[in-house]
Structure 1
Amino acid sequence: VNPLTALAMFDIVREEGEKAFVMTAGASQLCKLIIGLAKEAGFRPIVTVRRDEQIQLLKDLGAAHVLNEKAADFQAVLRETMKAEQPRIFLDAVTGPLASTIFNAMPKRARWIIYGRLDAEPTVIREPGQLIFQHK
Structure 2
Amino acid sequence: MARHIQFDRLGGPEVLQVREVATGAPGAGEVLIRVDAIGLNRADAMFREGSYFLQPSFPSSLGYEAAGTVEAVGEGVVGLDAGTPVAVVPAFSLNEYGTYGDHVIVPASAVVPRPAHVDPVTAAAVWMAYITAYGALIDEGGLLPGDHVLLTAASGGVGLAAVQTARRIGAVPVATVRGAAKRQALLDAGAAHVIDTETEDLVARVQEITDGRGVRLAFDPVAGPGVDTLAQAISPGGKLLVYGALDPRPTPLPNAAFYPDLSTSMFTMFRVTADPERLRRAVAFIDAGLSDGSLAPVVDRTFGLDDIADAHRYLESNAQTGKIVITVGHDADAA
Alignment TM-score, normalising by the size of structure 2: 0.36
Structure 2, unmatched stretches of 5+, are 1-40, 42-127, 264-335
Q: Residues 19 and 5 from structure 1, CA distance in 2 versus in 1: closer, same or farther, beyond 3 angstroms?
A: same
Alignment TM-score, normalising by the size of structure 1: 0.80
Separation in 1, partners of 2:258, 2:197: 25
Following superposition, the deviation at residue 23 of structure 1 comes to 1.4
1:53-92 alignment runs, 5 A limit: 53-84=181-212, 86-92=214-220
Deviations 1:105-135 (A, max 9, x none): 321001111111111233342353233xx35
1:7-86 alignment runs, 5 A limit: 7-12=134-139, 15-17=142-144, 19-84=147-212, 86=214
- The equivalent residue for 1:6 is 133
Q: Residues 123 and 37 from structure 1, CA distance in 2 versus in 1: closer, same or farther, beyond 3 angstroms?
A: same
Tell whether 2:222 aligns with 1:108. Answer: no
Tell me the secondary structure at the aligned position of residue 111 of structure 1.
strand
CA contact (8 A) 1:97 1:121 kept: yes
Following superposition, the deviation at residue 62 of structure 1 comes to 0.9
Following superposition, the deviation at residue 84 of structure 1 comes to 4.5
Separation in 1, partners of 2:143, 2:167: 16
Normalized per residue, the structure richer in strand is 2
Separation in 1, partners of 2:199, 2:236: 26
Mean alpha-carbon deviation: is it higher for 95-104 or for 68-77?
Answer: 68-77
Q: What residue identity is the alignment partner of 1:126?
A: N
Separation in 2, partners of 1:14, 1:101: 19
Aligned length: 134
Normalized per residue, the structure richer in helix is 1
Cα RMSD of the aligned pairs, angstroms, is: 2.4
Separation in 2, partners of 1:16, 1:62: 17
Deviations 1:36-79 (A, max 9, x none): 12222221111111121111111111111111111154443243
Q: Residues 122 and 15 from structure 1, CA distance in 2 versus in 1: closer, same or farther, beyond 3 angstroms?
A: same
- The equivalent residue for 1:130 is 259
Aligned sequence identity (%): 25
Mean alpha-carbon deviation: is it higher for 48-57 or for 98-107?
Answer: 98-107
Separation in 2, partners of 1:98, 1:78: 15
Separation in 1, partners of 2:198, 2:163: 21
